[in-house]
Structure 1
Amino acid sequence: MHSIKSRIIAIFIIALIVAGGVAVALSGMQIRTPEPEDAEESTASYAIGKDTINIWYTDEALTDYLNYVAVNYSSVNEDVRVVPTLVSGRDYMEGISEASMTDEGLPDLYITTNDMLEKAHLAGLAETITPPGSVDITSLFPQTAIDSVTYKGNLTAYPMFMECSAMCINYTYLEQWARNTLEAEIRAQMAEEAKEQETQESSDKSNTSSTPKTEEEKAQAEKEAEQKAAEEAEKISAMVSDEEVEAYATERLPVSIDSLLTLSDDFDAPENVDTIFKWAVTDIFYNYFFIGDSIDIGGDTGDDIDKIDIYNLDAIMGLTTYQKLNQFFSISTDDVSYGGVIEDFENGRIVMTIVTTDAVRTLADAAAEGTVDFEYRFLPLPDISETAQGRSMSVTDVVVVNGYSSQKEAANDFAYYLCTSDPAALYEWAGKVSPLKGANLGSRNAELQVFINEYDESVPLPKMLETSNYWVNLEMLFASVWDGADANKGLKSLSEQMKLQTTGKRINEETIEIPVEEEEEDEIIVEESSEESGE
């Protein structure tokens, strides 16, 4: 089971690296996929007499890529060498601060998650960036990335790579069901026509006498009926084209919670399928889309203490919708985890799930090994209602220029290069997805575009220290609501707690009355009318 605390720490530690592509694309140069030996080149040969830029990170998966970029950068900027240093994720920011205060091996740059920028700024560990050549990075990255690195109106870091969620569906199962459904419709129509013909023939035969069939004639009749049924099945199958199947399957892809439930209700799953839809219901990262479009924590840039909107009707309805899915799919919180869900999907035991970008590589590797033998597709998260879209939570990992660095200009230059030079290599080597606009992300570019689009509409982690425990409390609220707690009361309590933390004042939210749904109102009216009429 993932907790939001462990998840954010995991992302924080997993989160450090580079993105890019525009600089190379604009120059017309070809992007070269790096080879491992490039990253292993020793920095000793070019270290003498050069200025040193130290960059700290916590994710070992970034090591080869960072070394590769460092070597490439120094080959162009011969008076600078870059030294990437892998450090522990424990007390990471405190370690940066201590090194900066003592000036002993302080990092000129470091990689962290966007929610740490207020803490970094207040400690003097981050300042407004100055891209080389007065480059406008707001034109290079989507607004979500820009919001993620903006603090109090200033750009305080460079966006590197992101994480968010999307849906994944076993498309082979969907197409099989689509074909069976279309064939069943034809079969039903043919059966109706045959019944009418049989009725007519029976009417005609009623006027004539018939001789009872012998056992041999009955056996022959059964054989002919079986042969006719096989021919009919083959004929019906031929009547349904692959294009019709594709069109029907595409039409039934879930775009909202309602359409997802309708599909789940109609879907005739294969015997080995345990459930139609299953996801890590205890992890806020995969649940947040239920309320992401309805809740505001700190405004667009997540740093405005006056913008706290947690308790509202759309948020209540979104959380209630989440609760209703437990009644439909009956997912136990005791034995569900993201890793377990991915394994179930690989083994064909579930049809749909919610995943993060790691699933792109995981499923591709499984397909290459033959353990995944079906077609799958990544889809946008479903909308919650007509007034609330499904919006994922996102984490953006960023490169920060240390405010205590004595080489800020050189650090800015490398940070920009790091985030815009080679997004394809970033993904191929480290499995990290650059948010750079128009970036070619390599061999999995088409699949990753679904996540890029979700990221563009996502909600970045807020930066305010006063709300640092918000995610833990929100995850606890989701867990309790999943098990039957009142969503209205839970959100009201959470809102009051967050406003107390941000304003220092105890605020009593006015309870929101949930409107009775129209169908329920109609039922009430019918019942009242029946009583009044004495029925």
Structure 2
Amino acid sequence: MHLKKRLTAVAAVLVMTAAVLYGSVFGTGDVKEADGPLAWSGDKETIYFWYTDDTMTNFLGSAAVAFGEQEDVRVIPVLTSESEYLEAINHASSQSSQVPDAYLISHDSLEKAYLAGLATQIQDVAGVCSEANFPRAALAAVSYQGMKVAYPLFFETSALVYNETYLREWASQIAMKELLEAGQEEDVPTEDSQGIEVDEALLAANTENYFLNAVPATVDHILNIANTFDVPQGVDVMKWDVSDIFYNYWIVGNYMIVGGDAGDDGSLIDIDNPQTIQCLEVYKALNQFFFIESDTVDYESVVQDFSEGRLVFTIATTDVVAKLAEARESGALGFDYGIARLPQVSAELSSRSMSVTTGVAVNSYSQHEELANRFAAYLVGECAETLYDRTGKVPAKLGTETDNGALQIFKEEYADSIPLPKMMETGNFWLQLEGLFSKVWNGADVTQLVQELAVQIDIQINASRQ
């Protein structure tokens, strides 16, 4: 799910906040129990594992069978609707004999789940959730008020995707221009159409040097390429989904603080600061170079444009790795490409991407917490190596997918990312921030917008404390 869809879903469930904050369970209403197999009979200990994404079925089914045989227990995966997911878990926990003992959950919903009694501090007897196995971003994502309340399984974040063939062409153009200008200054008679003799060996060496330094380290480097590259007809230097905060947040992510690294501390809010404003001014200036219509572009169309050779750079999530690999294998991709860390905003201003981690939570209503914890640890630990091949999801665990260079870049980006906050009182912050970015992109005053957002979030935080 892209963040825009996630944010819409979050906004829809904010009506449940009051009940959760007072520690009461969600109203059961007319929520139906998720479809699933009947309870097992027999002597084996049995747990039910809930999830909402059908792409996880093969992975979870295989893990359930293997773990069941290894431990002489039964694990029953239950695929249910994503709509009102926590409400359904609550209903089944209080009204059904098939209590969801553990379940997959996006980390930004963990505060809601914990306060509702649907998640509890993990036991982690084997010590799986440590910095030896996971980056700090993963551990921060599954932490709440100093406790780990889930096991990190997989993540989503963004990175820079570039057309390597075009960058080599740009390097050749720059190297040729440099040699031609040097030749003109020396007024050397030549045999070529420019009237200047070119040393082919020197041209090749200079081209390689420019190419090796072509992947941009800062936004200014991208702008330099935009200013100096005579792109083929129909090709744009850069385009990305400027309407989705997931692909924009890296611009301000290192300075706009909302809840700290764990995203759960209302005292750690810093929105209106000079660095954030400077970063947004850089973002505003980008529209002068790339002319992207925010109401006509979306992620799918951008990836398609890149795949068809109409872009030099774009910003994409982890799904692009498989999409580009499949296109190359089918012969539909006619160029070389690469994945890189997102550039710094400038030489003085750092960037930091946003991430979302999906974890395994253990239900405090479970009568089999110890077994549920063991299965959760098994999923994120021993099963991590097969996760990507079976689901296309990138495991949060360190040391996985080491033979896939593109995924390793995403994992590096993830390790330094800022997890989406989990505070319910700022649940609409991302929708507000998305609106701010849209207005900035279209030329609105940055300072005023940042000040207005900071005041609004401060009102929300203070209201929740009264």
- Does 2:192 correspond to 1:229? yes
Alpha-carbon distance in structure 2 between the residues aligned to 1:396 and 1:440 = 17
Residues 492-530 of structure 1 show CA distances to partners (whole Å, capped at 9, x for unaligned) of 111111111111299xxxxxxxxxxxxxxxxxxxxxxxx
Task: Choose the corresponding residue for 2:211, options 249, 253, 265.
Answer: 249
Q: 3-state SS of the aligned residue for 1:65? A: helix
Amino acid at match of 2:339: F
Q: How many Å apart are 1:47 and its aligned residue?
A: 8.1
- Does 2:119 correspond to 1:126? yes
CA distance change for structure 1 residues 161 and 8 in 2, over 3 Å: closer, same or farther? farther
- Between stretches 133-142 and 294-303, larger displacement belongs to 133-142
Residues 313-359 of structure 1 show CA distances to partners (whole Å, capped at 9, x for unaligned) of 11111112111111121111121111010011011111101000000
TM-score by length of 2: 0.88
Residues 116-154 of structure 1 show CA distances to partners (whole Å, capped at 9, x for unaligned) of 111001100111101134555343111111110110111
- Between stretches 138-147 and 410-419, larger displacement belongs to 138-147
Alpha-carbon distance in structure 1 between the residues aligned to 2:2 and 2:394 = 23
Residues 280-302 of structure 1 show CA distances to partners (whole Å, capped at 9, x for unaligned) of 00100000011101111111211
Q: 3-state SS of the aligned residue for 2:100? A: coil
Task: Choose the corresponding residue for 1:260, options 216, 222, 229.
Answer: 222
Q: Give matches, 1:467-506, under 5 Å.
A: 467-504=426-463
Q: Give matches, 1:42-121, under 5 Å.
A: 49-78=43-72, 80-121=73-114
Residues 182-215 of structure 1 show CA distances to partners (whole Å, capped at 9, x for unaligned) of 233334434554x356xxxxxxxxxxxxxxxxxx
Amino acid at match of 2:116: A
- Does 2:248 correspond to 1:287? yes
Contact 1:278 1:350 in 2 (8 A): yes
Give 5+ residue unaligned stretches, structure 2.
12-36
> Residue 5 of structure 2 aligns with which residue?
6
Q: 3-state SS of the aligned residue for 1:120? A: helix
Alpha-carbon distance in structure 2 between the residues aligned to 1:471 and 1:136 = 28
> Residue 451 of structure 1 aligns with which residue?
410
Q: 3-state SS of the aligned residue for 1:160? A: strand
Task: Choose the corresponding residue for 1:166, options 148, 152, 159.
Answer: 159
- Does 2:172 correspond to 1:189? no
Q: 3-state SS of the aligned residue for 1:168? A: strand
Alpha-carbon distance in structure 2 between the residues aligned to 1:115 and 1:344 = 31
Residues 14-53 of structure 1 show CA distances to partners (whole Å, capped at 9, x for unaligned) of xxxxxxxxxxxxxxxxxxxxxxxxxxxxx99x98532112
CA distance change for structure 1 residues 175 and 472 in 2, over 3 Å: closer, same or farther? same
Alpha-carbon distance in structure 2 between the residues aligned to 1:105 and 1:304 = 35
Amino acid at match of 1:252: A
Q: Give matches, 1:281-320, under 5 Å.
A: 281-320=242-281
- Does 2:291 correspond to 1:330? yes
Give 5+ residue unaligned stretches, structure 1.
13-42, 198-224, 507-535
Task: Choose the corresponding residue for 2:365, options 378, 384, 404.
Answer: 404
Q: How many Å apart are 1:231 and its aligned residue?
A: 13
- Between stretches 251-260 and 129-138, larger displacement belongs to 129-138
Alpha-carbon distance in structure 2 between the residues aligned to 1:505 and 1:137 = 32
Contact 2:242 2:297 in 1 (8 A): yes
Alpha-carbon distance in structure 2 between the residues aligned to 1:231 and 1:493 = 57
Contact 2:401 2:408 in 1 (8 A): no
Alpha-carbon distance in structure 2 between the residues aligned to 1:291 and 1:72 = 44
Q: How many Å apart are 1:474 and its aligned residue?
A: 0.7
Amino acid at match of 2:380: C
Alpha-carbon distance in structure 2 between the residues aligned to 1:138 and 1:125 = 26
- Does 2:324 correspond to 1:363? yes
Aligned residues with identical type, % of pairs: 41
Q: 3-state SS of the aligned residue for 2:266? A: coil
CA distance change for structure 1 residues 439 and 53 in 2, over 3 Å: closer, same or farther? same
CA distance change for structure 1 residues 467 and 344 in 2, over 3 Å: closer, same or farther? same
Residues 380-439 of structure 1 show CA distances to partners (whole Å, capped at 9, x for unaligned) of 111113443111110000000001000000000000000011333211110111121222
Q: Give matches, 1:388-427, under 5 Å.
A: 388-427=349-388
Q: 3-state SS of the aligned residue for 2:394? A: coil
> Residue 203 of structure 2 aligns with which residue?
240
Contact 1:100 1:107 in 2 (8 A): yes
CA distance change for structure 1 residues 457 and 105 in 2, over 3 Å: closer, same or farther? same
Q: How many Å apart are 1:109 and its aligned residue?
A: 0.5
Which of the two has higher C-alpha Rg? 1
- Matched positions, count: 439
> Residue 34 of structure 2 aligns with which residue?
none
Contact 2:106 2:359 in 1 (8 A): yes
Amino acid at match of 2:57: T
CA distance change for structure 1 residues 261 and 294 in 2, over 3 Å: closer, same or farther? same
Alpha-carbon distance in structure 2 between the residues aligned to 1:186 and 1:285 = 42
Q: How many Å apart are 1:158 and its aligned residue?
A: 0.1
Q: How many Å apart are 1:365 and its aligned residue?
A: 0.6
Alpha-carbon distance in structure 1 between the residues aligned to 2:284 and 2:314 = 17
Contact 1:4 1:472 in 2 (8 A): no
